[in-house]
Amino acid sequence: MISLPAPVRAAGVLGAALLVMTAPAACSSNTGGTGGDQSSDTYTWWDPYPQHDKSSDWAKRVTACGDEAGVTIKRTAYDTSALTNQALLAAQEGTSPDVILLDNPAVSTLADSGMLTTTDEFGLDTSGIDENLLAAGVVDDKAYGIPIGANTLALYYNEDVLDDAGVDPASVEDWESLTAALEKATDAGHKGITFAGTNTEEGSFQFLPWFWGAGAELRDLDSAQAVSALELWTGWLEEGYAPDSVINNSQNTTWEEFLTGDFAFAVNGTWQVNSAAEAGFPTGVVQIPGKDGGAAPAPTGGEFITAPVQDDTSRYDVTKKIVECMTTPAGMVETATTFAYYIPPTQAGQEKLLAKNAGLKPWTEAVRSARGRTSDNLGTDYPKISEQLWTAVQKALSGSMSPEDALREAQSAAEDEVGG
């Protein structure tokens, strides 16, 4: 992530929504290559995983799908935001690759530019994809690409801390019961909860489950529901249930705090599954609760596999074979385990994954109730709205503004950016 090692790259899995014009950093798993290197037996592939070199399991998977389609794949890897910028530049120059894997908030940006084919145009079957996950790539009711997997957020807990505090994790069903658990943990001499409230997309990513869990919507940042979510966070700071460090915490630093063994809970993602298993204390996972109960919708992270528009449309038949190779149930499980862990976006893929690792059930449930940040046709408006949201969170956590005033200011600024 918005990047940790994929998908453990908090800023990467979260950050592609914000385009930063920097010199593109890229590496290739073969001899390099851009869209301009296309030939009838060589297909170009870009992805946001430069940490996976040509000897990695991921690169071998990509190569195998080329072999299955009867062609050679030239893979080039860019950092997440550099990839989006490079893709837009390639479209202008007519050198788009055959396949691009994109962080899901960036799909709307490239679709809006006209450089991506739709799944209907490409003849891709998306009927088995979970609708809430596919929605992250829908713009104006048209789907662009297929999610290769998803990650999201939940509450990790320290079993030892909860046992000492007399808290049953199953009792955490809504905001009231969670806050009561935090009170018990701190009364027992431990720390309550840590989360990432940093002044970046990661801050919005971590706040959204509480925001959506209150019933708030991103077009209405200063609703009463939104205010209640921000008051929850600021209240935890005021009561000492969360540390002051949350205002600067990234998801990485949040996790480092949790691994000290002092905290009852931490908000973090699927990508920490292996680390949690290796912690020096027993851990578990529960869903982030909605204000009045039930699982709150958490935002989805993860990439979509997309097919850019090509002048030579005869290439599409082979590109389709490559995409389909990557998106079979078995292929999605391979992606899930390669990246430890993406959750497959189909029921069939999820069932195959759980057959291999039943401990991932809480995460499949979290993904099933998750929500795309650009869903509801927010598209390219999302980054502008998100920036105002994380700014409001910062002002409220710092105490410089009340939650109500900070969100009112955010809504006004968002309306100036995207229209009321």
Residue pLDDT, tens place only, 17-71: 333 333 334 555 443 334 445 668 999 999 999 989 999 999 999 999 999 999 9
pLDDT of residue 15: 33
Q: Write down the pLDDT at residue 420.
A: 60
Query: What is residue 27's predicted lDDT score, i.e. its pLDDT?
Result: 53
Token reading at 203: 């801050």
Q: Which residue has the higher pLDDT, 281 or 2?
A: 281
Q: Rounded to whole angstroms, how far apart are CA atoms 296 and 174?
A: 9
Residue that is written with structure tokens 């070199």 in the block: 53
Look at domain 153-298+378-418 and name its CATH class.
Answer: alpha beta
Q: What is the mean pLDDT of residues 189-205?
A: 96
Q: What digits encode the pLDDT tens for the residues 142-170?
A: 999 999 999 999 999 999 999 999 999 99
Domain spans of the chain?
A: 10-150+301-368, 153-298+378-418
* Cβ contacts of 190 within 8 Å, gap of 6 or more: 161, 164, 165, 262, 263, 264
Say yes or no: do domains 10-150+301-368 and 153-298+378-418 share a fold: yes
Highest mean pLDDT: which of 84-88, 111-115, 211-215?
211-215
Beta bridge partners of 341: none
Nearest to 100 by CA among 77, 122, 71: 77
Higher pLDDT, 79 or 399: 399
Q: Judging by DSSP bridges, how do beta strands 303-306 and 99-103 pair with one another? A: antiparallel
Q: Is the pLDDT of residue 5 over 60?
A: no
Please name the CATH architecture into which domain 10-150+301-368 falls: 3-Layer(aba) Sandwich (3.40)
Order across the sheet with 191-194: list the strands. Answer: 191-194, 263-269, 153-158, 283-286
pLDDT digits (tens, 9 = 90+) for 324-373: 999 998 899 998 888 878 999 999 999 999 999 999 999 999 999 999 99
Q: Considering only CA atoms, which of 108, 104, 154, 102 is closest in space to residue 130? A: 104
Buried b (16+ CB within 10 A) or exposed e, 377-410: ebbbbbbbbbbbbbbbbbbbbeeebebbebbbbb
Q: Residue 47: enclosing H or E segment and its boundaries? A: strand 42-47
- Determine the pLDDT at residue 376: 83
Residue 287 is given by DSSP the state: P
Residue type at 403 in one-letter notation:
P
Extract the tokens encoding 82.
Answer: 């550099």
Tokens 């909605």: give the residue: 290
**What is the structure's pLDDT at 338?**
85
Decide if pLDDT at 104 tops 80. Answer: yes
Q: What is the pLDDT, as a whole number, of residue 16?
A: 32
Rg for the chain, CA atoms, rounded: 21
pTM above 0.75, yes or no: yes
Average pLDDT, the chain: 90
Bridge partners for 346 per DSSP: 129
pLDDT of residue 37: 55
| Cα angle: 410, vertex 414, 418; to 5 degrees | 175
Q: Which tens digits make up the pLDDT trace of 66-94?
A: 999 999 999 999 988 799 999 999 999 99
| Res 307 pLDDT > 60 | yes
Nearest alpha-carbon partner for 318 in 122, 151, 153: 122
The identity of residue 404, as a single letter, is E
- Integer CA distances (angstroms), 384 to 108, 118, 184, 379, in order: 13, 25, 39, 10
In the chain, % of residues over pLDDT 70: 90
Mean pLDDT confidence for 163-192: 98
- Closest-CA residue to 291 (of 228, 365, 236, 233): 228
Residue with tokens 């990439």: 303
